[in-house]
Structure 1
Amino acid sequence: MTRNPVEKSATPVEKATLAKKTPVTLLGLGAMGTALARAWLAAGHPLTVWNRTPARAAALAAEGATVADSAAEAVAANTLVVVCLLDAASVDEALAGADLAGRDLVDLTTGTPAQARARAEWARERGARHLDGGIMAVPSMIGVPEAGGYVFYSGSRELFERHRETLGVPVGTTYVGEDPGFAALHDVALLSAMYGMFAGAAHAFALIRKEDIDPASLAPLLADWLVAMAPSVHLTADQLRNGDDTEGADSSLAMQVAGIPTFLTTAEQQGVSPELLSPYFTLMRRSLAESGGGEGGTGMIDLLVR
């Protein structure tokens, strides 16, 4: 194990300060892992790191991290073990030879709800406590509170509360429930909505691509419109909760379906493929047909669930 070079020269006061900070082990030094590591180091947390490619740890060693020669050695160093690897298979491989008994395992590796639930059981069988995390941030947002990033956490609330302060050092924390799969589910739900927004924006820019319209002039109009429409998610949530999709509806589904030909014809005339919008339009038409001509606004969600 490569020792922390800062630790050797620390003054008694500095050592006392470090002793009050929860030590952290971090497995995985990709872009996100490195950003997390630097945030904990900057806050004075003793940090042990491991990465499959040792060269990536060199810079962090110079900044004060202790570099372990193996994942098992890194796990043995501290109770709190944070994993930020490529996928579930990478986690299996990294922890194959580690003794997890008594460890608090926080898995920030992107995965599915089912994988998170399986990992929680896997950890329990090995004597470890487990939290799953879904990171709602990019590396540049880590360590920058005003950037607005955060991590969803799910699993043991007691474990989350125990490490809330330490986990909140790099980025904000949002606890979403005892079910280990809920963090991953929230993560994918929000990212799915994001990709839907990206799809709509891509179609919008494609429509003006061949025209004498500066994309930079459309961008602020598009951003403001999306911001104005964003609160509609609250209305949808209320309609789903109350079972009444007419509540607060300003634009009926029937009226929206009637406007579909305009969108498709405009796309055709502009030489733009409708492939990003067509699936949603198809769902709108199905929902209207099944609702017998009613509002049917939330019916599309139920059609997706079937």
Structure 2
Amino acid sequence: MTTRNASPTPLTLLGLGDMGTALARAWLAAGHPLTVWNRTPAKAEPLVAEGAHVAPTVAEAVAAADLVVVCLLDDASVGEALAAAELAGKDIVNLTTSTPAQARERARWAQQRSARFLDGGIMAVPPMIGIPEAGGYVFYSGDHALFEQHRATLGVPAGARYVGTDPGHAALHDVALLSAMTGMFAGITHAFALMRPEQDVKPTAFAGMLTDWLRAMADMADGMAHQLESGDYTEGVVSNLAMMTTGNATLEATAEEQGVHGELLAPFMASMRERVAHGYGDEGLAGLVDLLRQR
């Protein structure tokens, strides 16, 4: 991750929520001339002492720099904020959380206004911003020349990863990883619920076993990826769907014994049973990808 440019690029940042403020402080610390705007002006005041210039309107903020980074509440707020600004010749980098379709439409919207556009998906929380060892990064997609021109500047707050010319791909990568995280959180929550009644097992002691196990199992993603690319969903399978579906009965019975509702895992188990019922019991989990796509 780049932490300082030889000649720091001036930029404008719209939006000073927790993430926007963290981004602002990273760029200021790296010596970038920074103009900021926020709907609630008071949020910008602490950054003045760190060197930021506060613009009273979005139009004035956008006029202050060729590179304009947007980190607002949602896609609608982006259109609303930029409606009165002159965008011709500007480089717009949108770090506002959006869907792939919204990002693609926003790219068309920017092009109609003679602006270049990059969409971004932030894979970090505010405390990780500006700290290289924290491992945070941002997915970028859209105009490749724009990304290359500003790669060093964009890499100041967090690592910059370009994922293609399709403007929707940053948001798609972001949501895909967050979806995997959400599923993992569901499993962790269910596991702790199973253990909760056991007074002689401390949650902190169990957590170490849980994280070790999840790390060991995470490599299955590589195997699934190879199967999806080859089209052979039985390749390298150790525990097939038929075996796992049979084993799920024990998971469900244990949950019932422990007084734990099974709704966090039930849809996934139901999909496994459906795939087996269709005659694919010798496969691994990769076939569930096709099952989800067919619904």
TM-score (norm: length of structure 2) = 0.96
1:73 aligns with 2:60: yes
Alignment partners' CA distance in 1, 2:43 and 2:119: 25
How many residue pairs align between the two structures? 290
The residue aligned with 1:156 is: 143
The residue aligned with 1:108 is: 95
Alignment partners' CA distance in 2, 1:295 and 1:38: 50
Change in 2 beyond 3 A, CA 1:69/1:244: same
The residue aligned with 2:212 is: 224
For residue 294 of structure 1, report the CA deviation from its aligned partner.
Answer: 2.7
The residue aligned with 2:230 is: 242
Report sequence identity in percent. Answer: 66
TM-score (norm: length of structure 1) = 0.93
- Segments of 5+ residues of structure 2 without an aligned counterpart are none
1:63 aligns with 2:50: yes
Paired AA for residue 171 in structure 2: A
Alignment partners' CA distance in 1, 2:48 and 2:185: 39
Alignment partners' CA distance in 2, 1:243 and 1:116: 31
Change in 2 beyond 3 A, CA 1:21/1:273: same
Structure with the greater relative contact order (CA < 8 A, sep ≥ 6): 1 or 2?
A: 2
Change in 2 beyond 3 A, CA 1:101/1:270: same
SS in 1 for 2:60: helix
Question: RMSD between aligned alpha carbons?
Answer: 1.2
Counterpart contact for 1:72–1:97, Cα < 8 Å: yes
The residue aligned with 1:215 is: 203
Paired AA for residue 70 in structure 2: V
Structure 1 segments of 4+ aligned residues over 6 angstroms from their partners? none
Q: How does 1:249-264 map to 2 (within 5 A)?
A: 249-264=237-252
1:168 aligns with 2:138: no
| Counterpart selection for 1:37 from 10, 17, 24 | 24
| Counterpart selection for 1:133 from 89, 96, 120 | 120
- Cα deviation, 1:86-111, whole Å, max 9, x if unaligned, reads 00111111101000000000000000
For residue 291 of structure 1, report the CA deviation from its aligned partner.
Answer: 2.8
Paired AA for residue 233 in structure 1: A
Counterpart contact for 1:18–1:46, Cα < 8 Å: no
| Counterpart selection for 2:13 from 18, 22, 26 | 26
The residue aligned with 1:196 is: 183
SS in 1 for 2:42: helix
Change in 2 beyond 3 A, CA 1:18/1:232: closer
For residue 112 of structure 1, report the CA deviation from its aligned partner.
Answer: 0.2
SS in 2 for 1:78: coil
- Segments of 5+ residues of structure 1 without an aligned counterpart are 1-16
Change in 2 beyond 3 A, CA 1:99/1:79: same
Paired AA for residue 160 in structure 2: T
SS in 2 for 1:105: strand
For residue 129 of structure 1, report the CA deviation from its aligned partner.
Answer: 0.2
1:279 aligns with 2:267: yes
For residue 62 of structure 1, report the CA deviation from its aligned partner.
Answer: 1.2
The residue aligned with 1:3 is: none
Change in 2 beyond 3 A, CA 1:227/1:106: same
Alignment partners' CA distance in 2, 1:291 and 1:18: 58
